[in-house]
Structure 1
């Protein structure tokens, strides 16, 4: 594993290959080496996510590459076999794997875009006060009635109605009881 890691770091530093191509090639080499008895595929997807984040692709934690690969297992294994059969030759054929890899990333982006569009549609139908509550919960991980009063200046009873509706609609989850109640995104 030391040799591929050294090669990857040198190539990343040289910046002659596009980061997606570099990551794709490194991942197929990792899978060909198969360093562990079990879990190499899952680990390769975790490594892909890490390398994509390092390359500036900040979207990757919000859409599952694992599920994209899982839904196209046959194409995954075919591309892997076609490329791995040539890796140790004088003219490796990276194309089958890179085409699969890049298509999988494109599908990951499409899924995230669909998720964002659905979220926009759902949130567009919410009253402004409810939107403020949801955005605060998204930014801070949770929200309390006190937070909502400070944030919006709204009336406690009006805010209770908004919280109740957001919980009923599945936007927020309620935790605790009495004065200790807090809400988080679902």
Structure 2
């Protein structure tokens, strides 16, 4: 068996090629500055809306990377409640959704607070409120007691991607990591985020949830790099798009040496894409704001307002009269009258895709 990075002596003495990183790091810093400038110009209500949009994406995608699909409406509602935002049509949220939201908010909004065993245990407990991961009982809010392998493939033909350090080493490995994270001041904060991500995943200190916690630590460090507790880009959403590459580069790095230039280049590239993709989130927020600006004097009932907002946010599937009736708890006749009224007001139009049943979509201004 070849060496894993953590089996090498002084494995945490990471090295990298500063010259190779200079250009991509400069690009990231430039994009961060532009984004923060853009957000400053938005004004408070729109900034809050963009924050809600970005954090929702972050929570959903970080879970999706692990194959767990949370309900978008629950995530949005949980975030809005915890951010104290007054939004119509909030739905109740499950404990595991609330837990993921609480962890992400604690990591970013309290980004100046020190990391500690206890804080990480609190995050872990929030992720697994029932003490179970799927069907399996796991050790919660404590370092794992067993050995840890990341494996894929069918029984008898498994492939070991990675073997984490022995459980007996975890207290000292985590102490070293936490001390470094809290006290290292000389590194560029973005480079530090990339190292923290890799370092934590290499230790793999928990029975489950290591990926989500690694990404929360990364977001915590990136929000320090931005000098803001508000998140307007989602690294997790970008990692989700590049999930296969993500696992591949992690595996390669775990089996390499302590020179982590290639990992940091990948991390910076992923971060660049995440920053570039904020335009889509921003456009969504701005088009919603433009719509309500245009229609501030248009007579609309509460059901119509509710559905229009849902269409701008996280509406799943197609809008039909039966779906309208179900969501707004009204009769199908009332739903049809509501819809036809919006068609006449040039707010909705029949879905151009057609099909057997009639569906509707927002008329984009």
Same fold by TM-score, threshold 0.5 exceeded? yes
Q: 1:59 to 1:163 in 2, by over 3 A?
A: farther
User: Structure 2: how far apart are the matches of 1:93 and 1:9?
Assistant: 22
> Alignment RMSD, CA only?
3.2
Match of 1:95 among 238, 255, 261: 261
Match of 1:8 among 181, 187, 206: 181
* Higher RCO structure, 1 or 2 (CA under 8 Å, sep 6+): 2
Farther off after superposition, 62-71 or 2-11: 62-71
| 1:56 corresponds to 2:229 | no
| 1:111 corresponds to 2:250 | no
- Residue 213 of structure 2: aligned partner: 43
- Residue 82 of structure 1: aligned partner: 252
| Residue 3 of structure 1: how far off its partner (Å) | 0.7
Tell me the SS of whatever aligns to 2:277.
Answer: helix
Q: 1:70 to 1:48 in 2, by over 3 A?
A: same
User: Structure 2: how far apart are the matches of 1:46 and 1:162?
Assistant: 40
- CA offset digits 1:49-104 (Å, max 9, x no partner): 122223335486444332322221221112212222235xxxx2212221222222
Is contact 2:196-2:217 (8 Å) kept? no
Tell me the SS of whatever aligns to 1:36.
Answer: coil
Higher helix share: 1
- Residue 121 of structure 1: aligned partner: 287
User: Structure 2: how far apart are the matches of 1:115 and 1:60?
Assistant: 14
Match of 1:169 among 304, 308, 326: 308
Q: 1:97 to 1:111 in 2, by over 3 A?
A: same
User: Structure 2: how far apart are the matches of 1:18 and 1:159?
Assistant: 51
- Residue 198 of structure 2: aligned partner: 28
TM-score by length of 1: 0.61
Is contact 1:80-1:96 (8 Å) kept? no
Is contact 1:68-1:108 (8 Å) kept? yes
State the aligned residue count.
141
- CA offset digits 1:105-125 (Å, max 9, x no partner): 222222222210233234334
Tell me the SS of whatever aligns to 1:170.
Answer: helix
- Residue 154 of structure 1: aligned partner: none
